[in-house]
Amino acid sequence: MVSETDGRSMRERMLAGDLYIADDPELAAQSLRAMDLTDAFNATSARDPEQRRRLLTELLGEVGEGVEIRPPLRVDYGSHIRIGAGTFANFGLIALDVAPISIGADVQIGTNVQLLTPTHPIDPGLRRAKWEAAEPIVIGDNVWLGSGAIVLPGVTIGENTVVGAGAVVTRDLPANVVAVGNPARVVRSID
């Protein structure tokens, strides 16, 4: 079994990528803060881009110049997400940032894309005891994630890569390729 008495908080364990229990008062407070901010963001009018930008800047760890995210948006904490300049995310982005999510500059994200960092133990006893962990996601500059793509924990996608609609990215993708399918596989290079 996992020891809860190694001297670290559950937040410290989570950020280190180690097993932690999410039902922790500090993590619950941060999660509620993120839910309040995403609810406020999702309720904003498209005619009020300044309010949207203010809320995104308060919610996320870093928001580059010219970033546009169309509601609805869902995150776990928000503060572990960094988005580079000129990135666009269409409706329905889910970015579960238990571990860091880094999105480069000029990335195009289609509708209903999911960036999922959480993992759960295979051991049924640990799962029943509510232990979980996470692995970071890195999306390079100028990547295009097609609608409905799912990026799983620990994945890095290289710059200029295109991920087809509905693809499930289970492992790293190099730069300058097109990948499709479940699991996503490289079908060609981009010259």
Return the amino acid letter for 37.
L
Return the amino acid letter for 76.
D
Are the beta carbons of 105 and 87 closer than 8 angstroms? yes
**Bridge partners (DSSP) listed for residue 109:** 89, 145
Nearest Cα to 104, choosing from 126, 130, 83?
83
Q: Chain-wide mean pLDDT for the chain?
A: 96
Confidence bin at 3 (pLDDT 50/70/90): low
Q: How many Å apart are CA 133 and CA 88, to the nearest integer? A: 28
Q: How many Å apart are CA 16 and CA 32, to the nearest integer? A: 21
pLDDT at 61 over 70: yes
The catalytically annotated residue of 8, 11, 54, 120 is 120
What is the Cβ-side half-sphere exposure of residue 56, based on CA atoms within 13 angstroms?
Answer: 25
Confidence bin at 121 (pLDDT 50/70/90): very high
- Straight-line distance from the first to the last Cα atom of the chain, in angstroms, rounded to the nearest whole number: 50
Q: How many Å apart are CA 20 and CA 70, to the nearest integer? A: 32
pLDDT above 90 coverage of the chain, percent = 95
Element (H, E) at 185: strand 185-189
What is the Cβ-side half-sphere exposure of residue 159, based on CA atoms within 13 angstroms?
Answer: 7
Residue 13 CB partners (closer than 8 Å, separation 6+): 6, 19, 20
pTM: 0.95
pLDDT at 5 over 60: yes
DSSP state, 146?
-
Q: What is the pLDDT of residues 68-98, one digit of tens each?
A: 999 999 999 999 999 999 999 999 999 999 9
**Is 80 assigned a catalytic role?**
no
Are the beta carbons of 175 and 161 closer than 8 angstroms? yes
Q: How many Å apart are CA 127 and CA 181, to the nearest integer? A: 29
